[in-house]
Amino acid sequence: MSEKKFSKKHEWVSVEGDIATVGITKHATELLGDIVFVEVPEAGKSVDKDAQTAVVESTKAASDVYSPISGEIVESNKSIVDDPVSVNTDPEGASWFFKLKVKDKSELDSLMSQGEYEKFVAENPS
Partner 1 sequence: MEIQKTALYNLHKNLGAKFVPFAGYEMPIQYKDGIVKEHISTRSYAGFFDVSHMGQFFLEGDGTLIDGLEKIIPADLKILKLNHSKYSFLLNDNGGIIDDLIITKTKEGFCIILNAACKENDVKEISKFLKKDHKSFINSDLSLIALQGPKAVEILEKLIQGVSNLKFMTGNNFNLDGENLYITRSGYTGEDGFEISIPNNKVEMLIKFFIENKVNPVGLGARDTLRLEAGLCLYGHDLNESTNPIEANLKWAIAKRRREEGGFNGWKKIKELIVGGSDKKRVGILPEGRIIARENTKIFSDQGEEIGQITSGTFGPSVNASVAMGYINTKFSEIGTKIQLEVRGKKYGGKVSELPFFKKNYVK
Residues that bind partner 1 (CB under 8 A): 33-34, 36-37, 55, 57-62, 81, 84-85
> Is the separation of the CB atoms in 53 and 41 below 8 Å?
yes
Task: Please report how close the Cβ of residue 115 comes to partner 1 at its closest, in angstroms.
Answer: 27
How many Å apart are CA 70 and CA 49, to the nearest integer?
Answer: 4
Task: Please report how close the Cβ of residue 52 comes to partner 1 at its closest, in angstroms.
Answer: 9
Residue 19 vs 31, nearer CB to partner 1: 31
Residue 19 vs 39, nearer CB to partner 1: 39
Task: Please report how close the Cβ of residue 94 comes to partner 1 at its closest, in angstroms.
Answer: 19
> Is the separation of the CB atoms in 28 and 97 below 8 Å?
no
Handedness of CA 104, 106, 107, 112 (dihedral sign): positive
Handedness of CA 78, 84, 87, 90 (dihedral sign): negative
Task: Please report how close the Cβ of residue 60 comes to partner 1 at its closest, in angstroms.
Answer: 6
Residue 18 vs 64, nearer CB to partner 1: 64
Residue 46 vs 59, nearer CB to partner 1: 59
At residue 10, φ and ψ (nearest 5 deg) are 70, 35
